[in-house]
Structure 1
Amino acid sequence: MTTNPPRQKAGRARSGDAGSVRTLERGLSVLSALADFGEATLTQIARQVGLSASTASRLLDTLRQQGYVEWEERSGLFSVGLRAYQVGAAFSVRNTLLGAAQPEMQALVDDLNETANLAVRRAGEAVYVHQVEARQMMRMFTHIGAVAPLHCSGVGKVLSAWLPEGEMRQLLGAGPYPAYTPHSLTTLATLIRELEAVRAQGYALDDEERELGVRCLAAPIWDARREVVAALSISAPTSRFPKKDIPEMLERVRAASHQISARLGWRP
């Protein structure tokens, strides 16, 4: 014979439920504190939210596993993760990067019939946060949340090129960098020269550096503080994107990136 557990009275929580709610509250307070800091150490976060270092560490580890927090091993700094970014974007699409970018990316793809990507920088990588696919039978595709190296991707170069020099060098490290193809830049000196050219010309090119047979052109997206917050790119097989088409492609990508930037409050 089995018996049903006693029915819980309305308005009262079991002790286990209360503990879970308390843990959730603490986790959210840690995430909020981290958003205020931008980047912070474990000690700073624990002190800010009034928790022991061990408790804060457990909460941060759980948030990391779920993608809400990222940790940079070299510096020991925590930062808000991509999943938190995606949740925030869902709150008010119109006023977010994704909301500003979507119509321009769609128009770009309608015009060029090549895949458009949107990426942001997280620690030492470029992270793809949005994509509008082309209608071609053979088209470029990447998963949202996928990462690309800074040294051999158009979006990675754009997201690095406008950083202050000290921050740029710290981010890139001393090299050498992995060679994905014979065209990959593998030394710090060559990469710095490339990023100087990117800054001067206002765009970046991945010329079969990540994958043979694929060319990518990327332009910066600026915010109201005149900071580069994202990179917009078009990717295509080299057979459909020969070098002679770079000026025409650049004109269209740059126009789209300027429109997105303007929606974020940027003024040239």
Structure 2
Amino acid sequence: MAEAEGVKSVARVFDLLELIADAGGDVTLSELSTMAELPLPTIHRLLRTLVSLGYARQLANRRYALGPRLVRLGEVANRQFGQLARPQLKGLVERLGETANLATLDGDRVIYVSQAPSPHAMRMFTEVGRRSYLHSTGVGKAILAELDDEQVREIVGRTGLPAETEHSITTLEALLADLAEIRARGYAIDDGEQEIGVRCYAMAVPGAPVPTAVSVSGPIARVDEDFAARAIPVLREAVREIGALAAAA
């Protein structure tokens, strides 16, 4: 009985962390109690333990946020996931000749966790560890397309839609319309929205432990419609393989 209660407490702790993350990073005690459908004393006891260990923190306004000790865990997990996908990223470069990236959802942004660079001198220069807005990147839009429109509205409500370039999407209506197209065709396109002169094709990784996407990108002179016709089937194969590896890990 004691072991079962212990396992239940561990599950509740992880549920709370997930709920805080889903809420955008900080919540009130009562909000957590409603979302978790647990009594306030239970929530308070679990949060007190998380705060004491550094996995949660209480803000000056009495709200609770994710703690700094989670950062290291996330960084290590991202690196391991990135290493897991390296063969598929290298395979994309060998077959398509352009830079391949793996990126995951990190709060309300996307973070690049692995990359196989193009052999060309002129290529995209996004580096591993860079965090970008979701609405202006191929990988970010591929991830957003996996969410429902209400979740997208909540994220945009927190981040806004700043223009990275003159081609960036800057209205919620345009973003939702673009996401509907992505869901219909199965992949996202960043057409100079993050970096002028660069085009990117991206797909979400099915079954990934966290929302994840893979992209191939390069100068628009090389990454044209003919490139897309070659790249989409190869990209689809790569994300399927990465998803299978993640599920088996």
TM-score by length of 2: 0.73
* Residue 175 of structure 1, CA deviation: 8.0
Aligned partner of 2:73 in structure 1 is 84
Further displaced range: 169-178 or 210-219: 169-178
* Residue 88 of structure 1, CA deviation: 3.4
**Residue identity opposite 1:215 in structure 2:** R
Further displaced range: 234-243 or 149-158: 234-243
Distance 1:195 1:137, change over 3 A: same
- State the Cα deviation string for residues 49-97 of structure 1 (Å, max 9, x = none): 645xxx93894589xxxxxxxx9x9x9642785532232356xx5xxx3
Aligned partner of 2:222 in structure 1 is 240
- State the Cα deviation string for residues 26-45 of structure 1 (Å, max 9, x = none): xxxxxx94586324347577
Query: As a proportion of its length, which structure holds more helix?
Result: 2
Q: What is the DSSP-based 3-state SS (H/G/I as helix, E as strand, rest coil) of the residue aligned with 1:98?
A: helix
Q: What is the distance in 2 between the residues matched to 1:169 and 1:111?
A: 37
Does residue 183 of structure 1 match 2:171? no
Does residue 255 of structure 1 match 2:237? yes
Q: What is the distance in 1 between the residues matched to 2:48 and 2:164?
A: 46
Distance 1:195 1:264, change over 3 A: same
Aligned partner of 2:46 in structure 1 is 48
Distance 1:77 1:196, change over 3 A: farther
Structure 2: runs of 5 or more not aligned: 1-11, 21-26, 33-42
Distance 1:57 1:115, change over 3 A: same
Q: Is the 8 A contact 1:162 1:228 kept in 2?
A: no
RMSD: 3.4
Structure 1: runs of 5 or more not aligned: 1-31, 63-70
Distance 1:176 1:35, change over 3 A: closer
Q: Larger Cα Rg: Structure 1 or Structure 2?
A: 1
Distance 1:214 1:124, change over 3 A: same
Of structures 1 and 2, the one scoring higher in RCO (CA 8 A, sep 6+) is: 2
Q: What is the DSSP-based 3-state SS (H/G/I as helix, E as strand, rest coil) of the residue aligned with 1:265?
A: helix
Does residue 192 of structure 1 match 2:176? yes
Q: What is the DSSP-based 3-state SS (H/G/I as helix, E as strand, rest coil) of the residue aligned with 1:134?
A: coil
Q: State the identity %.
A: 33
Q: How many residues align?
A: 216
Matching of residues 1-268 of structure 1 within 5 Å: 33=13, 37-40=17-20, 41=27, 47-48=45-46, 50-51=48-49, 56=51, 59=54, 77-78=65-66, 81=70, 83-88=72-77, 93=80, 97-173=81-157, 177-223=161-207, 229-265=211-247
Q: What is the distance in 1 between the residues matched to 2:28 and 2:160?
A: 30
* Residue 173 of structure 1, CA deviation: 2.1
Q: Is the 8 A contact 1:121 1:159 kept in 2?
A: yes
TM-score by length of 1: 0.68
* Residue 262 of structure 1, CA deviation: 2.2
Q: What is the distance in 2 between the residues matched to 1:244 and 1:133?
A: 21
